[in-house]
Structure 1
Amino acid sequence: MTDGSTEPREDRTVPAAPGRDAVVVGGGLAGVTAALALADAGLRVTLLEGRPRLGGLAFSFPRGDLTVDNGQHVYLRCCTAYRWFLDRIDGTALAPLQDRLDVPVVDVDRPEGRRLGRLRRDALPVPLHLGRGLATYPHLSLAERAKVGRAALALKGLDLTDPALDRQDFGGWLAAHGQSARAVEALWDLVGVATLNAVAGDASLSLAAMVFKTGLLSEPGAADIGWAHVPLGELHDRLARKALDSAGVRTEVRSRVTSVSTLADGRWSVEVPGERVEADAVVLAVPQREAHALLPQGALDAPERLLEIGTAPILNVHVIYDRTVLGTPFLAALGTPVQWVFDRTAASGLKEGQYLALSQSAAQDEIDLPVSVLRERYLPELNRLLPLTRDAEVKDFFVTRERTATFAPTPGVGRLRPGARTRTPGLYLAGAWTATGWPATMEGAVRSGVSAAEAALSALGRPRPAHLFDVEEAA
């Protein structure tokens, strides 16, 4: 199995050593995190992943001579769990953070023409750190900026533990607090769509408040942006696999789990074609529908709730030009369908020209459009947004689609998200869709893996690894 062969394999059973064995099903960030945490605590861990690689929905693939990410992923300084993960796999230097938040925002739909503004912070206490940036933000009127400040203070005062917040939509709350349609577009959705994968009107107030309170209103540097300067596969597959190997984890790819069941002695049996692995603890770190299919009867009070957790798509548009057309690492856009544009030239290995990746969240209306239609839509928009593209030659244009990129952060989703523990001893859940308190981000995925590992270690009476990230309230 370790060579990834697809040849038929002899049936075999790997017996468990009592109190020492765990199986993690799923090799995304949640599963890798859980496996590392369990192995660091002294358990013998097997990680089973159905795909031929690790990394889940944050991965890379070859396209000719290039290495392409399926989508652009960023994190913030406040994403302390993901930062711990990077450190654990020795990847911190490959995904650095900005020294200070600085986001170029270009509005192309103005009577006077294209206009550049910036969202910046200063080295001042909260909320003064955003004061100058907001005061000089040219995409809002003076009155709108003042109302944004008042809404931010009201948002800061919300109690994230109040379950009533989850039943409200963020758009309605913004309207009730004096936010104009322009303010929503130019600020709240500019940040919220990228982090929540939903526009304000479709997002739970609880999740939106969590994003803005934590990212913009907790610490001065909380919203500083970090991103991988190498292909995601270098981090989430190669370095993750190296860390797993060093921790003693048996990692098997192309090993899709077909069933999870209890044994007569209370341990667990996890089956893949040709093999059955026995263990004392199992972590299901797979998407919610796959988890539902694998759950034994009685594991959750209302397992059908997993099927009620919706999904939301992300579309990524990739354009390679014959010359440099963007002079910054990334920018955000207003007045155009384009949302965020990132320079992936160096990370992809491109030697000549420039490679831009457009990250289009909440892409329900575009996710299934033909490439030809998307090309006709987005190349003229890039000409409006980046004047240097008008004289440049497009060398390649392609799209990547993640139809179920995240769980949908709709009002009421909080009651559907289960914690790490199930009703069946020894079985635990992980994944960004579980009850982490975060939206579907890399941060939420890592936190869920930690929570599942902590729950398993507690039940097995094993000490928590001293260096493990500290989740304040493990689910």
Structure 2
Amino acid sequence: YWDPVVAEYVDYGVHVVMRCCEAFRGFLKRIGESDAVSFAPSLSIPLWCGGRRHLLRSSPLPGPLHLLPSLLHDLPLTWSQRLSAMRAGAALWSASPGTLADVTFDVWLSHHRQDAQTRAVLWHPVVIATLNAPASRVSAAAAQKVFLDGVLQRRGAGLGFFQRPLSRISASAVSYIEAHGGTASLRSAVHKIVVQQGQVRGLRLTTGEFLEADTIISAVPPKDLASLLPRTAAMEVALPAQQALKGSPIVNVHLWLDRPVLDEVLWIAADAPIQTAFDVTRLRPPSGTARYHHLAISQSAASEWLKSSDAQIVDRCLHALAPLAPRVASAHLVHARVIRHPQATFIPAPGVDRHRPRPVCGIRGLYLAGDWTATGWPSTLEGAVRSGILAAGRATASSSEMADGVDVTPML
């Protein structure tokens, strides 16, 4: 959105992409936005714990060993805790995902003798940042996905940051559609998906206009999908997922100060009231004639924060920043925005994958997409793109009018 007070475009939150998100990177390449995300050459995350700064960083060692020097020398753990963490990491690496699907990650960590300090320093910050829920609520399988595909892969663990507002990237996607013969109808709200005799017939817009179509890909959340479908179809297609997938909130706090206050573009706090801080001004070039320094706080699994007023949240952030970024005390707060996402992502709880539907549902011509569908990934940009690829693949394969050369393989 455009913020007139500071005269710049602001994303609702700071999105971070890991290099392992290959489908999303392929999507950016396809729409001409390959340079929209800038990746760090290797993983390097400052971690505040016990009032001291530590560093979780990659080394030249291959595979899961790339974090070994950091584990042994940089993190505030005893030698016993480090050895225990290495054993747990090896067990997570070799475990079959099927054995992890019905147990929480916290229970799994207990079985592998990870004490409170090791969890707080090593396991919990990664889980909350990537899955938007504490280890006590996510399945061990979901946590394994994050660590095996991302954190424990030397190349896959690299973090990428957007270099321009997401609205510009969305505009490029629209341009791509139009350049390939499609039409993007923005601000055209759908009232109902019209279904007759088990086959989709089109869309009824809120304006009353009817758009005829025998193939529809829906990328809306299950609650919205249920409201668009006839009651019987909604109970079969959308309600099971709606009931099983519980949402988790994220609160983003944007602060504009009259001077820089962070020494790094990003850090994570393991034991502070705030979780993650970003120096947005240093992460990407300002989108307008920026006069102030933009700092963003991202709070995952933020149910308690939803109960507070904007002023209380801003005050909480400034007080929490003081011991971690002392220059905050002398900085002047020019402007602040609090953005709440009550249902930002779904919680990948034990057993929840059984309720995530595949693209083909019980209605002919209707295909399901969205990060809540069965993608094999948690609720992420990567999962969203993969869902679209899967749905498009099934839709084109089922269409008698499929054009030659349509490419619906993963966009890598």
Q: TM-score, normalised by structure 2?
A: 0.92
**1:62 equivalent in alignment to 2:3:** yes
> Following superposition of structure 1 onto structure 2, how do residues 4-15 of structure 1 map, counting pairs within 5 Å?
none
Which of 84, 89, 100 matches 1:152? Answer: 89
Deviation at 1:244, TM superposition (A): 1.7
Which residue matches 1:78?
20
Tell me what 1:7 maps to.
none
Counterpart pick for 2:54 among 117, 120, 142: 117
Equivalent pair of 1:325/1:386 in contact (CA under 8 Å): yes
| CA-CA distance at 1:466 after TM superposition | 6.4
**1:238 corresponding residue in structure 2:** 171
Corresponding residue number in structure 1 for 2:305: 366
| SS of the residue 1:456 aligns to | helix
Equivalent residue for 2:265, pick from 318, 329, 333: 329
State whether residues 371 and 387 of structure 2, in contact with CA within 8 Å, keep that contact through their aligned partners in structure 1. Answer: yes
Number of residues of Structure 1 aligned to a counterpart in Structure 2: 404
2:254 matches 1:254 = no
TM-aligned CA deviation for residue 201 of structure 1: 0.5
CA distance in 2, matches of 1:300, 1:456: 22
Aligned counterpart for 2:344 among listed residues 392, 402, 405: 405
1:306 alignment partner in structure 2: 241
8 Å CA contact 1:316, 1:399 repeated in 2: yes
Equivalent in the alignment of 1:294: 228
Whether 2:39 is the aligned partner of 1:97: answer yes
Task: Give the Å deviation of 1:349.
Answer: 3.5
Structure 2 partner of 1:6: none
Give the CA deviation at 1:94. 2.0
1:267 shift after superposition: 5.4
* 2:22 aligned with 1:87: no
Name the CA distance, whole Å, in 1 between partners of 2:47 and 2:289. 26
| Partner deviation per Cα, 1:246-272 (whole Å, 9 max, x = no partner) | 122211111111111235795521110
- Residues 299 and 422, structure 1, Cα contact 8 Å, conserved in 2: no
Is the counterpart of residue 186 in structure 1 residue 121 in structure 2?
A: yes
Question: Contact between 1:447 and 1:471, CA under 8 Å: does it hold in 2?
Answer: no
Deviation per CA, 1:175-220, whole angstroms, max 9, x where unpaired?
1111111121112111110110001011112211111111123x42
Partner of 2:67: 130
Task: Give yes or no for the alignment of 1:206 onto 2:141.
Answer: yes
Alpha carbons of structure 1 residues 266 and 390: separation in structure 2 relative to 1, 3 Å: closer
Q: Give the drift of 1:467.
A: 5.2
Does the C-alpha gap of structure 1 residues 142 and 355 become closer, same or farther in structure 2, counting only changes over 3 Å? same
Task: Confirm or deny: 8 A CA contact 2:225 2:234 kept in the other structure.
Answer: no
> Given the superposition, is the C-alpha separation of residues 385 and 328 from structure 1 closer, same or farther in structure 2, using an over 3 Å criterion?
same
Q: Whole-Å Cα distance in 1 between the matches of residues 404 and 297 of structure 2?
A: 41
The farther-off stretch of 130-139 and 194-203 is: 130-139
Percent of aligned pairs with the same residue? 35
- CA positional deviation for 1:470: 2.5
Q: Match of 1:401, SS?
A: strand
Q: Secondary structure at the match of 2:39?
A: coil
TM-score, length-normalised on structure 1?
Answer: 0.81
Mapped contact 2:8–2:290 kept (Cα < 8 A) = no
Give the Cα–Cα distance (whole angstroms) in 2 for the partners of residues 406 and 127 of structure 1: 28
Q: 1:96, 1:467 → 2: CA distance?
A: 26
Unaligned runs of 5+ in 2: none
Q: What is residue 174 of structure 1 aligned with on the other side?
A: 109
2:194 corresponds to which letter in structure 1? S
Work out the CA distance in 1 between the residues paired with 2:267 and 2:180: 39
Distance 1:155 1:426 in 2: 40
Unaligned ranges ≥5, structure 1: 1-59
Instruction: Letter of the 1:402 partner, please give it.
Output: H
User: How big is the shift at 1:443?
Assistant: 0.5
Q: Determine helix, strand or coil for the equivalent of 2:172.
A: helix
SS of 1:200's partner is coil
What are the Cα deviations for residues 124-161 of structure 1, in whole angstroms up to 9, with x where unaligned?
Answer: 2212211112112232222222211111111111222x
* Alignment correspondent of 1:386: 325
Does the alignment pair 1:318 with 2:259?
Answer: no
Aligned to 2:210: 276
Cα distance in structure 2, aligned partners of 1:437 and 1:368: 33
Across the aligned residues of Structure 1 and Structure 2, the Cα RMSD in angstroms comes to: 2.1
Q: Higher relative CO (CA 8 A, sep ≥ 6), structure 1 or 2?
A: 1
Aligned residue identity for 1:262: V
Paired residue type of 1:443: E
Change (3 A) 1:242 1:178: same
Following superposition, the deviation at residue 350 of structure 1 comes to 5.8
Over 3 Å counting, the alpha-carbon distance change for 1:145 and 1:393 in structure 2 is same
Residues 420 and 451 of structure 1 are in contact (CA less than 8 Å); yes or no, is this contact kept in structure 2? yes
Letter in structure 2 aligned against 1:204: S
Query: Which whole-Å CA distance do the structure 2 matches of 1:253 and 1:311 have between them?
Result: 26
Q: Quick one: structure 1 residues 303 and 134, their matched pair in 2 at CA, closer, same or farther if it must change by over 3 Å?
A: same
Structure-1 separation of matches of 2:404 and 2:100: 33
Distance 1:307 1:279, change over 3 A: same
SS at match of 2:322: helix
Q: What is the Cα deviation at residue 300 of structure 1?
A: 7.0
- Cα distance in 1 for residues equivalent to 2:344 and 2:389: 21
1:196 to 131, 137, 140: 131
